[in-house]
Amino acid sequence: MLAADKLELTSLIKKNATALKGKELELNQSNFEAVGTQAAVLAGFAVCMLAKIDVPDSINPVLMALYYAFAVVNLMGNLACVSVVASVNILGTSLGLRGPDGSMRQAADGMHQQRTRIFWCFGTAMVSCSGAVITLAWIKMQPFAALACSAILFWGLVSGAKGALQMKIAFRYRDHEAVKVDDMLSSDTVGTEAFVKQLGVDCDTLAQHLGTEGTNANRSQRKDMCLV
């Protein structure tokens, strides 16, 4: 009987830990979907840059080559972002839900590690899109108008990069500060009392599971530690 109760408690702890990892997986999935949606829209704009823009033959070949290079990099960056997001979301969620024991943790950690690659692809596409628009301004506009538009676009690009950097610093945390399932029982955020509440187990049952062979005094001490 005690062995069965101990197994039940262990299973309950494991279930709660897996549920926490499931929330992390869902968070990564929703974030990646937001980035992937924007990248898909920008990929459509990149195709229009290559197919719909008519460049006069009298334009400097260097400007034309630069424009098309920016447009192609923009397209490939967005397509790479979309493909990585689709692969990570599909394969990661499949592993977490249908994989063997411990797959939820592996899937959540793996998706978290792919954030840098996805953001770099998206950032590269954004910079290339801005570069293509600046080059197009010099192709289609007079020098004064092209200079003004380039200054505005460059200012917007720098402001966006600066804002992203500030947000990264504001919301930055170190890896050892992140909440992990392994140290849940000893974490300051989820202490012993809060964890007992999550388990839904009364103190008498928990005291039996922790050690039924102890003395009455030790058992009372365990109960006092569980009181809320």
Tokens of 52: 């719909």
The reported pLDDT for the residue numbered 70 is: 92
> In the chain, where does the domain assigned CATH 1.20.140 lie?
2-177
Which pLDDT band, with edges at 50, 70 and 90, does 1 fall under? low
In this structure, are residues 73 and 111 in contact, taking their beta carbons and an 8 Å threshold? no
Residue 171's φ and ψ, nearest 5 degrees, are: -105, 20
CA angle 40, 44, 48 (to 5 degrees): 165
CA atoms within 13 Å, Cβ hemisphere of 97: 9
Top mean-pLDDT range of 133-137, 194-198, 201-205? 133-137
Q: Given a cut of 90, is residue 78 above it in pLDDT?
A: yes
Which pLDDT band, with edges at 50, 70 and 90, does 187 fall under? very low
User: Lowest-confidence range among 56-65, 171-180, 213-222?
Assistant: 213-222
Fold of 2-177: Butyryl-CoA Dehydrogenase, subunit A; domain 3 (1.20.140)
Q: Given a cut of 70, is residue 223 above it in pLDDT?
A: no
User: Lowest-confidence range among 12-26, 86-100, 192-206?
Assistant: 192-206
Note the pTM of the prediction, 2 decimals: 0.66
User: DSSP string of 5-55?
Assistant: HHHHHHHHHHHHHHHHHHHHHHHHHHHHHHHHHHHHHHHHHHHHHHHT---
In this structure, are residues 49 and 132 in contact, taking their beta carbons and an 8 Å threshold? yes
In this structure, are residues 108 and 28 in contact, taking their beta carbons and an 8 Å threshold? yes
User: Lowest-confidence range among 67-81, 149-163, 205-219?
Assistant: 205-219
Give the number of other CB atoms < 10 A from CB of residue 50: 14
In the chain, % of residues over pLDDT 90 = 12
Give the number of other CB atoms < 10 A from CB of residue 47: 15
Give the number of other CB atoms < 10 A from CB of residue 22: 17
In this structure, are residues 64 and 55 in contact, taking their beta carbons and an 8 Å threshold? yes
In this structure, are residues 70 and 114 in contact, taking their beta carbons and an 8 Å threshold? no
Mean local confidence (pLDDT), 19-39: 84
In this structure, are residues 25 and 107 in contact, taking their beta carbons and an 8 Å threshold? yes
**pLDDT per position as a tens digit, 209-219:** 555 544 444 54
